[in-house]
Chain A
Amino acid sequence: MDKVEEILKNLNEGVERLENKDFSIYFFVIDTETSPVASVAYIYEQVKILKESGYNARILHEKNSYKEKQLPFIKSWLGEEYFNLPHSSIEDKSVNVNATDFIIIPELFANVMEQTVKLPAKRVVLCQSYDYITETLQVGKSWLDYNITDCITTTEQQKEYIEGLFGSKLNVDVIPVSIDDTFKKPIKPKSPIVSILTRDQRDTVKIFKSFYLKYPHLKWVTFRDMRGMTKDVFAKALQDSCVSVWVDDIAGFGTYPLESMKSGNVVIGKIPNLLSTWINEKNGIWVDNTNVIPDLLAKFIQAWLEDSTPEEIYKNMDSTVEKFTIEKQKEKTIEVYGRLVNERIEEFRSTLQKYKNNKEEEKISQ
């Protein structure tokens, strides 16, 4: 068999493998060193959805040590079904990437995009935090320079931002985050507890200290810092509390406020720099200045103690969060990855056709 025939055979086999879902989709993840990070949870969710849809989706981690510490943590944080998803380690060199495979690389890892440029697999950027895009990207370099032409993000606003950065040659798809049913309204009546999550922990301290200073008659109200909890404990803490405070200027999506809403908590939040479409003046108490949060919180607590929080806000919270169901995420995930696979099949076919044409031309010229 000559070389061209071998290429044609490989391409045909590739098409067949792609059509039969006989390939791997590797999702590169960071080792969070046993800290719960929403973006990692989203990756695991995508792997789970794709696995359930018949794809060979896998978590790809850098070190073998991931299995010793991080993986048991994944079990306690996200649950057994996520722990049981297939995992591969780069360090043990057992990963054999083919042209039919896909590697999904988080936006932060521009170095990985560069290092994998010669791999035959199709690479896609998964961008959940627009703010990290330029973190490791070399000056003057673009994802397109690393032969990456596809990106998946979580909101239309991030899509616009990414398109603004990289231009129209980059194809950007949106797969929304879902808020799963671990988060639900409690049967137990709520308690006067404030759940607080801020990107900078100084904001948490500043808010509760200011609150206690300015409103000493409410010093019995408890604040709960929501960092570092397993998913179940986190969900229960949201159920127990009556209000959530959120400050995250660089948030790409805003999972925490939506989880709060689904748990029946009104959110007092600072509007992030990139405004998500789901945030509106009717579904929460949104401010552009962290300093006013203690005052608004005191007003809210007073209203909550008197059952005078407007019913309208709770209705709007429900209608906001119902848009982010696991079904919608599944539907969109299958649609986007299905399209990526079909495009890859078309690439293979188009290459195949080129080789066939070349071969025909060679025959004629002979």
Chain B
Amino acid sequence: MKTDVSIILPIIELGEKEKNLFADSITSVSTQKVLPKKIILVIPKNSEIKKELESYDFPENIKNDVSIVENDGETDFCSQINLGVESVETEWFSILEIDDVYSKIWLDNFNKYSEYYQDVDVFLPIVLDVDNDNQFIHFTNEPVWARDFSDKLGFLDNESLLNFPNFQVSGSIIRKNSFEGVGKLKSNIKMFFNYEFLLRLTYYDKKIMTIPKVGYKKVNMREGSLFWKYKNVDSEKIDPVEQKFWFNLSKKECYFKVERDIKYDTENV
């Protein structure tokens, strides 16, 4: 019995390094105690990636559930996810980044917790953040279980999120209707698109809960990753002033469901 979840895995590059990462992330799907119904790989249109994936030796237990969605528009992370969600036919979906992995118990625990907490819209995992040497750095998404962090133990609300922004969306399991209902991810918000999305969800009274189980492992600042580029690649670099701009903007934009025309404006920092 497969669970009513689709996994969206966006791929922008598939070099040798990414292939190894991809193998790990796919294995983390195929080794779940409970399997998802679909695995949606979102790739840029007209790239070599499609051929690679068509000949890829997917694990037997998931290979018939893999589908490829080609993106002929913007291929930034948010656009890839939004396009992937359009192809989702299950009630729930989850975002898996190519350099991350699920823990084996994640979907099984989603089943257990979603059966009891039926009004929840987003289930966050406890994320295990590790460095490039696979050494533990810290957990993410866990503070909701601290006494007095939020109104209800285990749940994330707007006020607590305004006080503490460090939450992670990748790995979480999101109700498709709720995602679309609040207006998807906003690709024009740099760096803090996750934060803006969570603020928007809570502003529109969507319920977010952290399942108190380690469900996702993330390599922090992996070379070549989006956030690594923000820090290290000249063309992508975001300085502290701009970071502050996007952070403050997220708090304002979360009231709007639609993506508005926004540009970095040093005068408004």
> What 6 A-B pairs are tightest by C-beta distance, nearest first?
A220-B146, A307-B105, A192-B212, A222-B147, A305-B214, A220-B142
A139, CB-defined interface residue at 8 Å: no
Measured between beta carbons, the chain A residues less than 8 angstroms from B154 are: 191
Q: How far is the CA of A222 from the CA of B109 in the complex (A)?
A: 21
Nearest-CB distance from A246 to chain B (Å)? 21
Nearest-CB distance from A26 to chain B (Å)? 45
Nearest-CB distance from A192 to chain B (Å)? 5
Q: How far is the CA of A159 from the CA of B128 in the complex (A)?
A: 51
* Interchain Cβ contacts within 8 Å, total number: 39
Chain B, 189-221, CB within 8 A of any chain A CB: 212-214
A364, CB-defined interface residue at 8 Å: no
A214, CB-defined interface residue at 8 Å: no
A residues with a Cβ closer than 8 A to B are: 187-189, 191-192, 217, 219-222, 305-307
Contact call A219/B146, Cβ cutoff below 8 A? yes
Nearest-CB distance from B48 to chain A (Å)? 38
Q: How far is the CA of A325 from the CA of B232 in the complex (A)?
A: 65
Nearest-CB distance from A196 to chain B (Å)? 14
Known: A187-B116, A189-B116, A307-B105. A221 touches B213 (CB 8 A): no
Chain B, 119-152, CB within 8 A of any chain A CB: 126, 136, 138-139, 142-143, 145-147, 149
Chain B, 84-119, CB within 8 A of any chain A CB: 103, 105, 108-109, 112-113, 116
Contact call B213/A306, Cβ cutoff below 8 A? yes
Contact call B142/A191, Cβ cutoff below 8 A? no
Measured between beta carbons, the chain A residues less than 8 angstroms from B149 are: 220
The listed residue with most B CB atoms (<10 A of its CB), out of A191, A219, A307, is A307
Contact call B113/A189, Cβ cutoff below 8 A? yes
B258, CB-defined interface residue at 8 Å: no
Contact call B145/A217, Cβ cutoff below 8 A? no
The listed residue with most B CB atoms (<10 A of its CB), out of A191, A192, A219, is A192
Name A219's closest neighbour in chain B (CB-CB).
Answer: B146
B162, CB-defined interface residue at 8 Å: no
Known: A222-B145, A305-B126. A191 touches B109 (CB 8 A): no
Nearest-CB distance from B123 to chain A (Å)? 11
Measured between beta carbons, the chain A residues less than 8 angstroms from B147 are: 222
Contact call B145/A191, Cβ cutoff below 8 A? yes
B153, CB-defined interface residue at 8 Å: yes
Nearest-CB distance from B204 to chain A (Å)? 26
Measured between beta carbons, the chain A residues less than 8 angstroms from B139 are: 217, 220
Contact call A188/B213, Cβ cutoff below 8 A? no
Q: Can you identify 13 A-B contacts, CB atoms within 8 angstroms?
A: A189-B109, A189-B112, A192-B145, A217-B138, A219-B146, A220-B139, A220-B142, A220-B146, A222-B145, A222-B147, A305-B126, A306-B103, A307-B108
Measured between beta carbons, the chain B residues less than 8 angstroms from A222 are: 145-147, 153
Nearest-CB distance from A274 to chain B (Å)? 35
Measured between beta carbons, the chain A residues less than 8 angstroms from B116 are: 187-189
Known: A189-B112, A305-B126. A221 touches B145 (CB 8 A): yes
Measured between beta carbons, the chain A residues less than 8 angstroms from B126 are: 305
